[in-house]
Amino acid sequence: MTDARAILAKLRDGDTPTEAELFWFAEGLATGAVSDAQAGAFAMAVCTRGLGPAGRVQLTRAMRESGQVLKWDLDGPVLDKHSTGGVGDCVSLVLAPALAACGAYVPMISGRGLGHTGGTLDKLEAIPGYRTQVSVEDLQDLVADIGCAIVGASGDIAPADKRLYAVRDVTGTVESIDLITASILSKKLAAGLEALVLDVKTGSGAFMADPADALALAQALVDTAQGAGCMTTALVTDMNQPLVPSAGNALEVIEVMEALTSGDLSTPLSRLTQALGGEVLALGGLAADAADGEGRIARALGSGEAAEVFGEMVAALGGPGDFTDRWRDRLPAARVMVDVHPGDAGHVGRIDTRALGEAVVHLGGGRLRQDDRIDLAVGLTDIARIGDRVDPQRPLARIHCASEEAARAVAAQVRGAFTLVNDAPGAPPLIHERIA
């Protein structure tokens, strides 16, 4: 008879539990049959001993099957994207409607801010009235009608992961590649996807700052997703500077709306959206290859079709019906704006992107505790990029905040995030590696 103690003893001794044992443990996490102490011991044992590639696939499948797995009957492929998180990374809000405009269906189950990184759901809640929590049935109806919906996970999706994630957060086991992989993919694959593209960040603002660690995670995610039956490609992308020159919830929605409505396809946000979209359109059979897929995404952005889909999604989820036309009037704005200037003139040689993300959190744009209320209007704009020249006329960034006191509290942190040099360095590549 299977029991938690026997499974934990196996892991302690360096053995991988069987598929049946991992399914039993995931079910126990979901139902409460596994205690908090046993869940913590499991997380620590996996973190220190590892599961190996086959065990990683089995744990992912077991956690996916611990709740509801969506089934679809649609006239196009069900596709999605996941990012490991960064600063100024608002690709999801641009990519989901662009994919839908190309004929895909996108049930994008997203999360909130984690540490110094922004959360997709928090950004969307800057749009007045937008509902991020819907039932599984409503999610399926929205995706079928509009082509995409960006919402939070319901309690029915991968409940084993929700339980294990909470335990990992307080047991020092967040960094395990096995547990990260199973956590990300169990939720994504429970959405019934046919194909997935992954954006694995590396650099000063990423959780995997070291490129070798990011590459290892990307490979583990691709191998595990494909082992669990979902066609997947990963791009290892740069987070040595914010993706867009803004960080903060409403401020990043402004960047999203500029990307959807301006027709400018040359910005880093637009270019990365095209690259990720091209990969997953090819996997889903809607493009001949990634290059063809990039062209299709570019046309959806340039023509305004993606913006139209985004507006339909916002209205269907409770936001303003005229958001794509009146977004400048609809988003919250901070009362105070303060520029941060460098001590000397020079070129930006390096950015501590994590420090910029932490500055936004300390302004109130993220959570220091789980129950903190977010100020959706605060953050940074006009963030200088690597290679830019800055001086008393060209600031490092502009702080948006509730008071002059709040600006003074983070100004030194923002200034300290930038290292200046005499000669302008080249910009880091937007995409470092592709894992297929």
Q: What is the pLDDT of residues 273-301, one digit of tens each?
A: 999 999 999 999 999 999 999 999 999 99
Which tens digit of pLDDT belongs to each residue from 34-56? 999 999 999 999 999 999 999 99
232 part of the active site: no
270 part of the active site: no
168 part of the active site: yes
pLDDT under 50: residue ranges of the chain: none
Active-site residue, selected from the candidate residues 187, 201, 330, 400: 187
Active-site residue, selected from the candidate residues 84, 92, 110, 183: 183
Which tens digit of pLDDT belongs to each residue from 339-397? 999 989 999 999 999 999 999 999 999 876 666 788 999 999 999 999 999 998 899 99
Active-site residue, selected from the candidate residues 188, 354, 398, 400: 188
The pLDDT value given to residue 369: 66
Active-site residue, selected from the candidate residues 60, 64, 80, 181: 80
The pLDDT value given to residue 114: 64
How far, in whole angstroms, is CA 129 from its chain's centroid?
A: 22
Active-site residue, selected from the candidate residues 60, 83, 154, 204: 83
Active-site residue, selected from the candidate residues 56, 64, 123, 168: 168
Residue 413 · residue 353 · CB < 8 Å: no
Cβ neighbour number for residue 344 with a 10 Å cutoff:
9
Q: Which residue has the tokens 């019934």?
A: 192
The pLDDT value given to residue 132: 95
The pLDDT value given to residue 77: 98
Put the strands of the sheet holding 389-390 in their side by side order: 389-390, 346-351, 418-421
Handedness of CA 134, 200, 348, 261 (dihedral sign): negative
Q: How far apart are CA 139 and CA 155, in angstroms?
A: 13
187 part of the active site: yes
Active-site residue, selected from the candidate residues 117, 120, 154, 381: 120
82 part of the active site: yes
The pLDDT value given to residue 271: 98
The pLDDT value given to residue 331: 97
Q: How far apart are CA 258 and CA 87, in angstroms?
A: 18
Q: What is the DSSP string of 123-180?
A: HHTTSTT------HHHHHHHHHHHSEEEEEPPTTS-HHHHHHHHHHHTTT-TT-HHHH
In terms of Cα–Cα distance, which of 48, 50, 60, 69 is closest to 23?
60
Active-site residue, selected from the candidate residues 81, 354, 400, 432: 81
188 part of the active site: yes
201 part of the active site: no
Q: Tell how strand 397-401 and strand 379-381 pair up.
A: antiparallel
The pLDDT value given to residue 117: 75
- Return the SS3 of 346: strand
Handedness of CA 300, 121, 280, 200 (dihedral sign): positive
The pLDDT value given to residue 122: 92
The pLDDT value given to residue 371: 65
Active-site residue, selected from the candidate residues 56, 61, 64, 82: 82
Beta-bridged to residue 233, according to DSSP, are 197
The pLDDT value given to residue 207: 84
